[in-house]
Structure 1
Amino acid sequence: MAILRLINRVLVLPTLGFGLGVGTFIRAWPNEGSGLTLGDDDAGRFQRRDVLKKIENLSQFKRLSADGSYVKTLQSDGIPAAHRPNCVGQGILFGYNKLEIDPIILKSEEKGEIVVFYHLGKDLGNENGKVHKGILSLLLDEALCYCGFPTLPSKRGVTAKLDIHFDNDIPADSTIVLKAHVTQSRGRKCIIDGTLESVPSNPVTSLVMGPTTYARAQCILVEPKWFRIFSRVDLF
């Protein structure tokens, strides 16, 4: 009897508990949902069309859109519909006077680069009308990781270190662009550098003065060894 109790405690119960946990987790995981598009009615209710038009008219946007090595998507395209309310950029920070557009992503896996356009609404500012740096940190962490994921063996990873240097404040109600590129990739580790910059409001002055750099960041992204256990199972 003592042996049976030991087997039950050490082997049967833990195995049963793990199996039930995994089974419940898989059943509860939401199905993939389609993302918003610029032509959807739902997208129009939550996005500022004037900002979208401004971005689409930028020479940088046109150039990258015409470059065959870049793929244009929206942030929501990569997030299952059931998960969007729990995603910072698609949930509590997305909407009127917050993140007022679904961030537009231009990504080149071939070059290891991404360019992301955001519009930061009035409610994301502090008492001085400047965007909270915590929000900018979230955007940088999220985008730099997204840039580095394709270089990892399982295409998934976690932030090991994020260094950010804030150079200038961003006025609330501003359209900005995030640029990031992979500078080093080896095995389960990669390093990504990125910046947050202004978008040109005047083509003439932008040629002379260039964009304003708001922040510079470097992210060290790693893939934990245990991720390989789930490499053949679409769990996350």
Structure 2
Amino acid sequence: MLSAISRRALLSRRACSRPGIRNYSTPNPGPQRSTWGTLKTVSAAVGLSAVAATLGAIYPPPPISILFPRAAPGPPADPLSPESVAYTDELEKKLQSLPYLKELREREDSAEWYETRPYQNFPEERRVNNLTAGALRGPGKLALYPLLRVKKDESESMVFIHLGRGLCGHDGIVHGGLLATLLDETLARTAIINLPEKVGVTAQLSLNYRAPTMADQFVVIKTKIGEVKGRKAHVSGRVEALDGTLLVEANAMFVQPRYAKLLHSAQLRQAMGEPPAADEPVLLADGQDLNPHHKHR
């Protein structure tokens, strides 16, 4: 007779040999992942990370580019060096080939506008003591003279300006005070040219900064005359990127001083950029208004 232990062992072997009954005492390993598959997954992850890092460096998201701007070389030390002259010439070519500027020049109403370059004919002895025409002029700052497209009735203007890296407050972002200065000058031109003696000073200037203005780009400052009453002229303006993004809004009032006739208004007009001389004389009928769209008060 079999002992109790022998019978249990025999029953256990018979039970394991029956179909459909799994022996849990021996593990059944499933399909294992190959080493090659693991390497492919790791390589793909590394590759995607490298691509994302490269794209992020070239086209950083706005918050990243603001908080961690890329380092840039400083402007040339000598504005008259061959390097500086070549830099300025290249910028001028870019300005003249801007698609937006070309579009404006080809519009149906282009004959109603004229172009001028303020400070281009400004005497050197006066330029050296001027902020935007002298101290801030040069490569890396205001490398080019502004290009103005002005409506012939002097009601509107569009100013194309390049802002260099030397005009930043926070690295890569143009200083807000510099934008206020440029707006003050461009708004002043529109206001002053509509005042009786063509002379005026800033009485009020209010700004709303809508978005950071990045350096190393062309911007457009648009101005529009408002109410002109006696010695006061109101004007509004805005700074835009070339893609139309609103950067700064402004409103201002300029006042003609009582001693305006004693000032050198001819030199002021020369600095602002005078409109080209008319090819033909303007003949007015008795009582005809030369500027019917202007708000006379």
Q: TM-score, normalised by structure 1?
A: 0.70
Match of 2:44 in 1: none
Question: Equivalent pairs: percent with the same residue?
Answer: 29
Between the aligned partners of 2:118 and 2:146, the Cα distance in structure 1 is: 5
The equivalent residue for 1:223 is 256
Contact 2:150 2:156 in 1 (8 A): yes
Deviation by residue 1:124-165 (Cα, 9 ceiling, x = unmatched): 113332110111010000110011112111011101000011
**Mapped pair 1:146 → 2:192:** no
Look up the match of 2:54.
none
- For the pair 1:158 / 2:198, whether they are aligned, the reply is no
Stretches of structure 2 lacking an aligned partner (at least 5 in a row) = 1-81, 269-297
Distance 1:68 1:235 in 2: 27
| Residues 74 and 112 (structure 1), Cα distance of their counterparts in 2 relative to 1, 3 Å cut | same
Aligned to 2:112, the other structure's residue is in SS state: coil
Residues 233, 223 of structure 1: alpha-carbon distance in 2 compared, 3 angstrom cutoff: closer
Contact 1:51–1:175, Cα closer than 8 Å, also in 2: no
Structure with greater strand share of residues:
1
**Does structure 2 retain, via aligned residues, the 8 Å contact 1:154–1:231?**
no
Which residue of structure 2 lines up, in the alignment, with residue 191 of structure 1?
234
Write the mapping of 1:130-145 to structure 2, written as runs, cut at 5 A.
Answer: 130-145=173-188
Bigger Cα Rg: 2
The question of 1:104 aligning with 2:150 is answered no
Alpha-carbon separation, structure 2, partners of 1:199 and 1:165: 19
Deviation per CA, 1:171-222: give whole Å up to 9, x if none. Answer: 111211100010111221111100000013xxxxxxxxxx111100011011
Quote the offset at 1:224 in angstroms: 1.5
On the 8 A contact 2:120/2:145 being kept in 1, the answer is no
Q: Give the Cα–Cα distance (whole angstroms) in 2 for the partners of residues 233 and 119 of structure 1.
A: 27
Aligned counterparts of 1:232 and 1:164: Cα–Cα separation in 2: 29
TM-score between both structures, scaled by the size of structure 2: 0.56
Query: Which of 23, 41, 52 is equivalent to 2:92?
Result: 52
Q: How many Å apart are 1:50 and its aligned residue?
A: 3.5
**1 CA distance for matches of 2:140 and 2:255?**
34
Count of equivalent residues: 183
Letter in 2 for 1:86: N
- Aligned Cα root-mean-square deviation (Å): 2.4
Does the 8 Å CA contact 1:107/1:114 hold for their aligned counterparts? yes
The answer to whether residue 212 in structure 2 is matched with residue 179 in structure 1 is no
SS at match of 1:95: coil
Contact 1:99 1:120 in 2 (8 A): yes
Greater displacement, 120-129 / 96-105 = 120-129
Distance change (3 Å), C-alpha of 1:119 and 1:196: same
CA distance in 2, matches of 1:81, 1:46: 21
Given that 1:47 and 1:101 are in contact with CA atoms closer than 8 Å, whether structure 2 keeps it comes out as no
